[in-house]
Amino acid sequence: MRSTSRAVFVALLGALCLLPLVPAGATRSVVGDVFGVVCVAAGLYGAWRIPGPARRGWMLVTVGFAGWALGDVVYSVEQYGIEPAAYPAPSDVPYLSSYAVLAAGLLHLARGRRMRSDPTLILDASIVALSFGVVVGTFLVSPVASDSAVPVLGRIVTSAYPIADVLLLAVLVRLWATASLRSPSFRLLVVALLSVLVADLTWNVMAIADPAATSPAWLDQLWLLGYLAAGAAACARSAPALGEDGLSVDAGTRANRRLAALGCALVLPGATLLADGLLGHQPPWLLVSIGSVALSMLVLARMGVLVRTVEVQAVQLAALARSDGLTGAPNRRTWDHELGRAVQQAEDTDAPLTVALIDLDHFKRYNDQRGHQAGDLLLREAVAAWSSLLAPHELLARYGGEEFGVLLPGSTTERACELLDTMQGLTPYGQRFSAGVAAWDRGAEPSRLVELADRALYEAKHAGRARVRVAHAGCPDRGLPPLRIAFQPIVDLRDGTVVGHEALSRFPDGDPETVFAQAHRSGQGPALEATAIRAALAERPDEGYVSVNLSIGSLGAPEVEAVLPDDLQGVVIEITEQTDTDDWAAAIATLAALRGRGATIALDDWGKGYSNVERILRLRPEVVKLDRSLLAGLDGDSSRADALRALAEWARSMGAVVCAEGIETREQWAILRDVGIALGQGYHFGRPAFRVAPRTSVGATSAALVV
């Protein structure tokens, strides 16, 4: 509201407060009429200036109030000018017709809030109106309708006022359920309507009690307050937004409002009977009974809509829970469920069953070169293209990352390979994939089928990618890959004293990271890690501690627990950075138990993978091991040294020490020692070796390890 308009309405409010000082009778009536006309004229001007779709609604609202103001003028003429020939009087025409105009305006504003498809709004408004109507019908309409001294037309007109008030209240509730109380225009509109409704109902009660009663000054003020608030609402800056969806109240607040309104409405019929009985009146049983039955039907309909809504939302949530958010394909949970069903069906029908695992080749490089949005688009379009080739009973699911599973009930491996070749050609943007195929044999578990397909996928990628490899459920289990343990010394950077060794797994047929990743993909990760830990503890050097690697996903695994001794003094468990977990509470509890047995917890390769500050704060390791990438360029970059100094100080503040990996030069050693890094390892101090020569320190040049 502009400052000029605000000043005008404040002045009008002050004038309204002085109304009781005006002499009663014709003078006060004329003053009140002029006041009302000025207020609605200002409101009409404000509504006319409102832009957008809300203008029509506000114009109807202000025209409705203008009709009431016109009725006041006609009523004053009837009272103090000409004497009406009979009742109803001419003033009843603008009074009653204005209700319809005002209701139309409110409905227009309510429909503008994009809530047309919600039947609960209409049901809630109907419940409130019907409950309030029982009260009004009992105390206002019933006494008038049964008064035979009043002509029939007079009884109809008199009863029409409280009934119209009830209907107007229903429309107001309809708007109130969705509009924001933060909107000044809506607050003013509520004040306007409630002022008029309360004044109307109060006057009806007074007229029934004393047909010769006159309106007191405070009641006139209440009516005029409605005109004033309506004009101010139309002139408020927030008025245009009331007819749009921009000021909607949040869902929680809206639900609380509606529950409060419905709760109050449901007790009104019973409270009406109680009040009527306490007053010694004969309750209108037929009215209350019909109203209560109708109210019950509305509540039942409301519950039916709620149940249907919950059912629809449950289906939608189930679909979301079983679908991948990026591609829309079934997710891992759906894959596991459908694979189990397919295996059971194959058992029952002895039909063939084939699965395939697809992995997009060089997807990380594609992401790095073109950006993650391009990578996401590739995944979405690939899923769309591949899915178009599948039959209705076949399934393509996102297995994880850029990996997908294809479930082919009733298909042989030959048909699967043909399908995959066709899918290869449809892969968008010239990209290719590797795939592993496995056929199910009777008695095989679903996990075994996936394991075989995953091994075949591994072979396809290592055979040059962009190809399909087939495994068979009957092939022998190759078991865990053979490994050997090499130990690399860890030294105190202050003087080069060897304080411990890290146990590193070595495999004849692949680098450790790839082999462990493959083991985890096939479900053998914990078993392979347990084998490495058992070997490391069996071959550990005599001097210092031994540090073993353990992924956070294998924490608490039975295979790992079986190889860890009860006394873990002198054992450092390095949590690797290549895996993550969703169950942090369980991981933290497992680490606490390991600490209780004497183990020291370290965070390995900090600076890559899933590493972040929050991870350190959660795990609270005693040792933070820096990834070797953080030492790149350290010799000639003072800013890196400053960053490492800050990291060392922060680690000390948390009760942890920092160990730097990948130290290869004397200069790096000196810089790390100067910035406060406590421990280190790298080729400068010794390469990993399968047997360790006992020693106590490392000199100026790296000492050779006995192999």
Confidence of residue 85 (pLDDT cuts 50, 70, 90): low
In angstroms, what is the C-alpha Rg of the chain?
Answer: 41
Task: Report CA 29 to chain centroid distance, whole Å.
Answer: 57
Give the pLDDT score at 474.
Answer: 39
Which residue type sits at 215? S
Residues 59/65/67/69 CA torsion (nearest 10 deg): -140
DSSP assignment of 381-436 equals HHHHHHHTTS-TT-EEEEEETTEEEEEEET--HHHHHHHHHHHHHH-GGG--EEEE
Confidence of residue 473 (pLDDT cuts 50, 70, 90): very low
Residues 516 and 524: their CA atoms lie apart, in Å, by 9
Which CATH number is associated with domain 332-472? Answer: 3.30.70.270
Mean pLDDT of 492-519: 90
Angle at 117 between CA 175 and CA 324, to 5 degrees: 120
Helical spans, DSSP H, in 49-116: 54-80, 92-111
Confidence of residue 266 (pLDDT cuts 50, 70, 90): confident
Q: Which residues contact 83 (CB under 8 A, 6 or more apart)?
A: none
Give the pLDDT score at 1.
Answer: 57
Task: Report CA 604 to chain centroid distance, whole Å.
Answer: 34
Mean pLDDT for all residues in the chain: 83
Q: Are 559 and 530 in contact, with CB atoms under 8 Å apart?
A: yes
Q: What are 292-338's pLDDT values in tens digits?
A: 788 778 888 878 887 888 888 777 777 777 888 899 899 988 999 99
CA dist list (Å): 82 to 157, 268, 518, 641: 21, 42, 101, 99
Residues 485 and 505: their CA atoms lie apart, in Å, by 5
Please give the CATH superfamily to which domain 484-681 belongs.
Answer: EAL domain (3.20.20.450)
Query: Does pLDDT of 539 surpass 70?
Result: yes
Query: Does pLDDT of 523 surpass 80?
Result: no
Q: What are 647-659's pLDDT values in tens digits?
A: 888 888 888 999 9
Residues 190 and 55: their CA atoms lie apart, in Å, by 18
Helix-strand-coil split of the chain, %, nearest 5: 60, 15, 30
Confidence of residue 243 (pLDDT cuts 50, 70, 90): low
Q: Are 559 and 526 in contact, with CB atoms under 8 Å apart?
A: yes
Q: Are 54 and 239 in contact, with CB atoms under 8 Å apart?
A: yes
User: Of 512, 625, 511, which Cα lies nearest the Cα of 577?
Assistant: 625
CA dist list (Å): 50 to 9, 28, 46, 229, 473: 18, 33, 7, 17, 74
Strand 497-506 versus strand 545-550 pairing type: parallel
Which residue type sits at 681? Q
Q: What are 43-75's pLDDT values in tens digits?
A: 999 899 888 778 888 999 999 999 999 998 988
Tell me if 332-472 shares its fold with 484-681: no
Domain layout of the chain by residue ranges: 1-115+180-247, 116-177+250-321, 332-472, 484-681
Give the pLDDT score at 479.
Answer: 59
Task: Report CA 438 to chain centroid distance, whole Å.
Answer: 39
